[in-house]
Amino acid sequence: MENTQEMPVPAVKPPLPGAWNMFKQSVGFLKDNFRAVFGIFISPLIFMVVGTMLIRSLPVDDRGNAILSGATSGQLTAFIIGVIISIIGGVLAYIAAIGFIYFLLDKEKGVYSSVKEYYKKAAHIFWAFVWISILLSLSIFGGFALFIVPGIILSFYLLFSTYVLVDENKKGLTALTQSWNYVRGYAWSIFFKLLLFGLLLFPIYIVFIAVFAGLAYVSFGQELSIITISSIDIVVRFIQQIIIGPLGAIYLFLIYRNLKSVKSETVPDFVEKKRKNKLIAVSILGLLIIPLIVLSVVFTSLMAARQKAKDVSSPEQYIEIEEVYDYN
């Protein structure tokens, strides 16, 4: 009879390298290869910064919200161009992230291609990446619909799907289940490694931003607050796109490669099929939940609007209006 149980996890698992050692290794790699990292990630950063500056050309109210009705034709044109450029920058950011994984794989082999070549490789599998991202989002969303905890678990189990796509050329559900295969048995270890990574990096990030914000405020003063805010925004984006993002990608890559080296066993077909079926089920649930949430938001908005209209048309409102006219 065919065994339909999950493949047992070995009692003794080879440990992954320590989080602190991988963090130091990630920082060292970023430092040694910063020029290449800068070249890969600078293009999407430029597009997003320029797009944001054009979008902010619209007039704003006291709360900082854009006012379309008070904008000139030139400002509206700048706004539309800014939105388009920002979208291009967002797409380029994903392509750069995929290309960076190709770069990390090449560095393992001791070779290096041009930034253009990495972008070309990434563009070749971009739609496969989009499909994996959709499946990943639906699976996690469906998992969160099942009392939150399954969604958290799935977010860890599917963490390395993009690395599997780039490194092993596995697509769709196969990439997701392969990530699941790698993580199973090491989820807690990965969780604490990511936790330590955040604890090490977040305070440094906050201190750096606070210092820069203080220097910008002292240099520009209150009368140039818009320039100050824009400068801080550019610096924050630079840190996120050129330092934090690549450093996190390197750290995850090290975890992925170590998982791949210690989990070389072949997963039986029935286990692979069972995991795919689970992912399909939660993805369908996630797909069904989305329109329900949209309908719920629309219904709530309509009810709020109805109540507001009811309040306006109440007798008390007419009494107040009559009193105003009588007074006048």
Q: Between residues 67 and 30, which one has the greater pLDDT?
A: 30
Give the pLDDT band of residue 4 (cuts 50, 70, 90).
very low
Place of tokens 């405020």: 217
Degrees (nearest 5) of the Cα angle 320, 322, 328? 105
| Average pLDDT value for residue range 262-266 | 77
- Look at residue 60 in the predicted model and tell me its pLDDT: 58
Give the pLDDT band of residue 15 (cuts 50, 70, 90).
confident
In percent, how much of the chain has pLDDT > 90?
Answer: 40
pLDDT, tens digit, 9 for 90 and up, residues 182-226: 999 898 999 999 999 989 888 877 877 777 666 666 665 554 455
Taking the C-alpha atoms of residue 226 and residue 102, their distance in angstroms, rounded to an integer, is 39
Q: Where are the domains of the chain?
A: 19-33+121-327
Place of tokens 């999407």: 44
What letter represents residue 118's amino acid?
Y
- Look at residue 2 in the predicted model and tell me its pLDDT: 44
183 in Cβ contact with 16 (< 8 Å): no
Of 67-81, 93-107, 124-138, 190-204, least confident by mean pLDDT is 67-81
- Look at residue 175 in the predicted model and tell me its pLDDT: 94
